Amino acid sequence: MSGAIEFARASCWYGPVIALNDVSATIGPGVTGLLGPNGAGKSTFLKLAAGQLKPSQGEVTVLGAPAWGAPEVFHRVGLCPEPDAFWDGLSGWQFVTFLLRLSGFDDAEVKRRAEAALAEVDLLAAKDRRIGGYSKGMRQRVKLAQAIAHDPQVLLLDEPLTGMDPVNRHRVVELVKRLGREGRTIVMSSHVLYEVEAMTRNVLLVHQGRILAEGDVREIRDLLDEHPHAASVRARDPRRVARAVLDLPEVVSVEFGEGGESVVVRTTRPDAFYTALTEVAEEAGVHEVFSPDEDLESVFKYLLARRGGAR
């Protein structure tokens, strides 16, 4: 299967530092979250996809063309870079229209597209103000506007929600989700898990220059044959629950939650655990069971910890 973005055994190093190591990945339509801590290689991944870096080894293609050295690919690629960098003397309008002109549009089309893009990110009212006077959130949004203004098929977003207020964060999240639903290939990097979680369940976990895991959160979990399932049980008597499950051979750990009102159980045999729980449910006054595993963060932390332990 081929995707809009293909990494084929791509490596990239800066001098002696390996930023990305033998990465193979195929990214197709929809929103893909690129997750990893700072320095994991997310930005390098995006820079390779955006043709800003040449792979030291391997190949990176976007829409069938090499990402490096093929400027024509940028007719269909939009990049929202991470650095807070602008020609500060320009207004938001000048910034977006200049870059549209550089994409080859005529004046009428430049005007139409700039208005539409700035409206999408709610900056039309501030379009004539200098970017130097914009707030951090506004600067993030004008970067996004230039990335989407030429209607790209592939959108590369490097930490796009940084500095945005909740209202605009929500607006941008909805915009990105909509663009993904329209069939565009969107890669969004972030080290903040809930940002990615708000947009997609399709993730690539990057750590120390490698793809740690990829796919849907559930698929990722399937990869983790040793990953214990976690269940948080809220009960009137959480100690009773703990006593009931503690002796089960597959239970890995039992911890009391904050305030002592819940107990978090980790087990490699969820079925046995739920059977035991059902037996004590009434006696212990169990009123809520949920799996914190469903949160991306727990999977991410687990994978990182496992990779760390394996070394």
Query: Please, what is the minimum distance in Å from the beta carbon of residue 158 to another protein?
Result: 10
Judged by CB under 8 A, which of 24, 37, 57, 102 binds another protein? 102
Query: CA–CA distance from 182 to each of 12, 29, 152, 177, 185 (Å)?
Result: 32, 9, 11, 9, 9
Q: Does 144 bind another protein (CB under 8 A)?
A: no
* Type of residue numbered 89: G
- Binding segment for another protein (CB under 8 A), chosen from 97-105, 193-201, 221-229, 278-286, is 97-105
Residue list 184-243, contact with another protein (CB under 8 A): 185
Query: CA–CA distance from 239 to each of 40, 106, 119, 267 (Å)?
Result: 40, 71, 55, 17
Q: Does 77 bind another protein (CB under 8 A)?
A: yes
Which of 257, 266, 285 is CA-nearest to residue 227?
266
Which of 171, 184, 181, 86 is CA-nearest to residue 129?
86
- Binding segment for another protein (CB under 8 A), chosen from 33-41, 71-79, 113-121, 207-215, is 71-79
Q: Does 72 bind another protein (CB under 8 A)?
A: yes
Q: Does 99 bind another protein (CB under 8 A)?
A: yes
Query: CA–CA distance from 57 to each of 8, 34, 45, 208, 309 (Å)?
Result: 9, 21, 13, 17, 28
Judged by CB under 8 A, which of 140, 153, 168, 202 binds another protein? 153
Q: Which residues contact 307 (CB under 8 A, 6 or more apart)?
A: 207, 208, 212
3-state class of 2 per DSSP? Answer: coil
- Binding segment for another protein (CB under 8 A), chosen from 83-91, 171-179, 194-202, 280-288, is 83-91
Dig out the tokens for 135 from the structure: 């707030």
Query: Please, what is the minimum distance in Å from the beta carbon of residue 63 to another protein?
Result: 5
Q: Does 108 bind another protein (CB under 8 A)?
A: no
Judged by CB under 8 A, which of 101, 171, 210, 269 binds another protein? 101
- Binding segment for another protein (CB under 8 A), chosen from 100-108, 214-222, 255-263, 298-306, is 100-108
Q: Does 162 bind another protein (CB under 8 A)?
A: no
What percent of the chain is helix, strand and coil (3-state, nearest 5)?
40, 30, 30
140 and 121 Cβ atoms separated by less than 8 Å: no
The count of chain residues that interact with another protein, using the rule CB under 8 A, is 41
Judged by CB under 8 A, which of 27, 73, 188, 286 binds another protein? 73
Query: Please, what is the minimum distance in Å from the beta carbon of residue 144 to another protein?
Result: 13
Q: Which is nearer to another protein, 30 or 270 (CB)?
A: 30
44 and 19 Cβ atoms separated by less than 8 Å: yes
Binding mask 11-50 for another protein (x = CB under 8 A): ---x-------------xx-----------------x--x
Q: Please name the residue ranges forming H helices in the chain.
A: 42-49, 92-102, 107-120, 136-148, 166-181, 193-199, 217-223, 238-246, 270-284, 296-310
3-state class of 233 per DSSP? Answer: strand
Contact residues toward another protein (CB under 8 A) are 2-4, 14, 28-29, 47, 50-54, 63-65, 70-77, 79, 81, 83, 85-87, 89-90, 98-99, 101-104, 146, 153-154, 185
